Chains A and B, each alone.
Chain A
Amino acid sequence: MTREAPGTDSSRSIQASRETAEQPPSKRGVGTATKRTDIASKVRGTAIYGSDVSRPSTLHAAVLRAETPHGTLRTVDTTAATDCDGVVAACSRSELRGFFDDRIRHVGDVIAAVAATDRETAYRALEEIEYDVIEHEPVFDAATAVQAGAPIVHENQPDLKQHRQHPIEVTNEEYVNNIDDYHAYQHGDVDEALNTADHVIERSYTTPRVSHCNLDTHCCIASWTDDQLHVETTLGNITQAQEELGDFLEIDHDSVEITVPPTPSSSFGGRSLPKFTFEPVAASLSERTGRPVRLEFPRDVEFLAGETRHKTEWELTMGVTDDGEITALQTSVIADTGGYPNGVGHIVLSNGRDRPLDMYRIPNYEYEGVSVFTNNVPAGEYRGIGVTQGTFALESHIDEVARTVGMDPLTFRSRNLLEEGEDRSNGRGPIDTSGVTECLERGQRTFERITDDRSSSSNELVGRGVALGTHTTGSGAGDGRDVSEAELTMRTDGTVTAKTAGVELGQGSDTVMSQIVAHEVGVPPEAVRVERFPASAALDDSLGAVASRSTYLIGGAVRDAGTQLSSTLVDRISTALDCSPADVRIDDGTVHTDRSTVSISDLLEEEITVVGRATADDAPASYGAHFAEVVVDPGTGHVDVRTFVAAQDVGFAINPKMVEGQLEGAVLHGVEFAICSELRADNGIPENSSLADYSVASPVEMPNQLECEIIESAERSGPYGAKGLGTPSLPPVAPAIGNAIRDAIGNRITNPPATAERVFFAMAGRDFDEEVPVDE
């Protein structure tokens, strides 16, 4: 069956197949475009974000940051700074709590920090700090840094209490220095398969260092009560952040309490975990002064210390038969971790390794990935960790391979797609719900409909491209280790408080949770208040709002609690009314029986509390097929994304309008990755570390026409069939645009962003960056 989402106009219709999903009993439960519960405070400007929070007697911190990328601090003298009026404490790097040694590893690394009665005083005092640094030879190219003889940024795999530390065995003799993480994997016999393939296509791709550019800059307030550290800041992954911060500061996990401000702001991974030069610095100054300390990043520091997406270099070699069957893939990737480890290199490499096998049948596969320390600014989590970069490389490559064998890129992909129920070639079990074929079919139909009648003038180059993408839901392998719990309390007035581990970062999770409760219990969504449970609560949750797990796993826990609450409530009501539970129907807060209609509050004498739980026994993959049409100006190389269709399998759209919003936001981040953004650096010094110089997408760069097609494959393991959306929707965007540019100009930009200069040079077969011919 198909339906039209409420409030959607015809040109943006969402049609959903939902044969298996249940129909909501409440008109405002799941599957409807329920208004966001937090919207009023946002349009009124009354929402209070991290940088708006102030606490009594708080001191303001300023950090003296390195201007050279690599060196050893010999002396740091803070005496004069300490003597400044209004300064309460000044700490040199070595006086900070935690694993701070005397080494400077990137521009923006911390040298010293000051706490003062106001921010201006703190910044002025920085000028009074004298220090002496012995400069070392820096290394900025990850492929160079990993080799023998390269300057050492860190010993291999240093223990800075980053998560996901695991033993590694490096089998590549050329990888010697600065190793953050390493993964090698193979199945089948790649050499043999490449030897016997009809075509072997080999190519390199590079993806840029980019920043989230969250508008609310990092801001935290740290304070101590006896031995208990309290940090108030926007963080998505609170449980893990508390552990990491505790380990780093060498205090108990239980001694760290992180709370979020009244309204957390956007993250895109940029606020998942603590940052080396952020929370620990504020915590140290607060411990030293005995007062709360507020540390805020100015915008340029967001680029220097806010952690970027890893810059990556890929080499792909693919073997195919004449009729377009993939026989082998050999992949090698080098990721630039920058100056400090944070456990994210591991995720980049493992996603780079596994995601192609969730999409395609690849009988012979060899993968090697290394993440490498350099003297660049640190990299970290950014929406689609590793998978955004890897999908760019793979989907660009597949486009080239299809061209080589003379097949339409769509047909080529279809020929090699894993189907629902088919085993992955790495033995990790079958693909559960896929939806990818429907994404391709529906996406293509819409794309053709809106692009077909276009005529183009002779002085513009028009190109079309497609790319697929997939990412798993949740953080891991679906091995049951990731859990979430939620507590629901219904009060006698009929309202419900839901305590969950979710963090409303703008993605709409609070609204989704209230819809689930409304749906299960039969109350209006407005009667549901969603709160975060404190870390000290007896409720369990592993990871909070990361890895596209909020709706899937936290939502699963809320649903479980909701069904319990519903049955308890119905029992109580049937007792009170002396009727059979089967005769009780609750809708929009009103109880209907054959005999009467009353409100819940008239019947409920004691509040009800239940706890629900969900376990991630699966990590279902979500799929997308994205289509782009670009227009290139041959005189300048400027790329205009004219049309974009994002067809995305979300399992089930609990709130179709918010799903659209997530998709549209993903398109923005992908457009930017494809044609706008790059944090450029000269000798480790970022050249465009301001929003005036660093290019983010404005409405002008966004597609003139953008259509979202929501596909619902009804995932068995997710609440109502839902699965992850935020992360999986981003990876296909940039390669679809890259492939369209290739189609338009006849040459491929292998190192996005495809800026006008790069495209202009590529049109003439030249490489803007290398000034050598592109080998077409």
Chain B
Amino acid sequence: MTVTVTFELDGESVTVETRPDQPLRELLRESLDAKQVKSGCESGRCGVCTVLLDDTVVKSCLTPAPKVDGRRVRTIADIGTDEDLHPVQTKFVDNFAAQCGYCTPGFVLATVDFLENTDEFDREDAKKAIKGNVCRCTGYEKILDAIETLDEETDADRDSPLGTE
């Protein structure tokens, strides 16, 4: 059985066939070639498949594809541009927060979501915010460094944490 879903993917409307039980991750990667959405587990643990669904962080491997019908999905491709990185991306660059980088899109999206929903925070809060994402390379230290410095810098433009929209 197939169902047709129409949703907004990174600012563009798409209509595509899916199955009731198909995970969103598979639909994005395989039918829509959105390879920026990564795949690492089948259990919702690693967070590399993270996307924003109506601006809330979800793990696309655990999200049934039909659920996105009529909604807005943003992947890392819609965060910043090569010329004008999102502030979160800039901080990841400055703080050496990526090594192999496979986890990085998930961490950037989780951080974007965290900042949008948080006023003041400390390193412990940042740890909680990213504990649903796994990184095997960095020991999380430099990712937390990046997020911590965002606290100081984004205070100024707290109204628009999504930055470069």
Contacts and interface: CB of A to CB of B under 8 A. Distances in A.
Contacts of A266: 99-100, 102, 136-137
A700 B127 contact: yes
Given A506-B99, A664-B142, A691 B93 contact: no
Contact of A215 (B92, B127, B134): B134
17 contacts: A42-B104, A43-B85, A44-B80, A45-B79, A46-B77, A215-B46, A215-B102, A506-B99, A661-B138, A661-B139, A661-B142, A665-B136, A690-B42, A691-B40, A691-B43, A692-B44, A698-B131
B108 interface: yes
Contacts of A693: 43
* Residue from the set A263, A506, A508, A690 with the largest chain B CB neighbour count within 10 Å: A506
A41 B100 CA distance: 11
Nearest to B141: A664
Nearest to B43: A692
Contacts of A668: 136, 138-140
Given A48-B35, A664-B141, A690-B43, A43 B136 contact: no
Contacts of A537: none
Contacts of B76: 44-45
Nearest to A706: B141
Interface string B67-111: 000000001110110100100010011101011111111001000
CB-CB nearest 6 A-B residue pairs: A506-B100, A42-B101, A45-B76, A664-B139, A45-B36, A692-B43
Interface residues of B, number: 46
* Residue from the set A263, A661, A668 with the largest chain B CB neighbour count within 10 Å: A661
A46 B134 contact: no
Contacts of A642: none
Contacts of B94: 7, 35
Interface of B: 35-36, 38-46, 48, 75-77, 79-80, 82, 85, 89, 92-94, 96, 98-105, 108, 127, 130-131, 134-142, 144
B82 A40 contact: yes
A505 interface: yes
Given A44-B82, A217-B39, 10 more contacts: A45-B75, A47-B101, A213-B134, A215-B48, A263-B101, A657-B142, A661-B142, A690-B41, A693-B43, A700-B127
A299 B40 contact: yes
* Residue from the set B36, B85, B101, B142 with the largest chain A CB neighbour count within 10 Å: B101
Contact of B131 (A264, A265, A506, A699): A699
A161 interface: no
* Residue from the set A46, A216, A268, A298 with the largest chain B CB neighbour count within 10 Å: A216
A599 interface: no
A212 B136 contact: yes
A215 B103 CA distance: 7
B42 A298 contact: yes
B134 A696 contact: yes
A216 B93 contact: no
Nearest to A47: B101
Given A39-B93, A43-B89, A664-B141, A51 B39 contact: yes
Nearest to A507: B99
B43 A702 contact: no
A216 B82 CA distance: 24
B62 to A, nearest CB: 11
Contacts of B141: 660-661, 664, 702, 706
A729 B125 CA distance: 29
B121 to A, nearest CB: 14
A213 B41 CA distance: 10
Nearest to A9: B145
A216 B79 CA distance: 22
B100 A265 contact: yes
B127 A699 contact: yes
Contacts of A51: 38-39
A44 B45 CA distance: 22
B134 A691 contact: yes
* Residue from the set A33, A664, A693 with the largest chain B CB neighbour count within 10 Å: A664
Contacts of B80: 43-44
Nearest to A508: B99
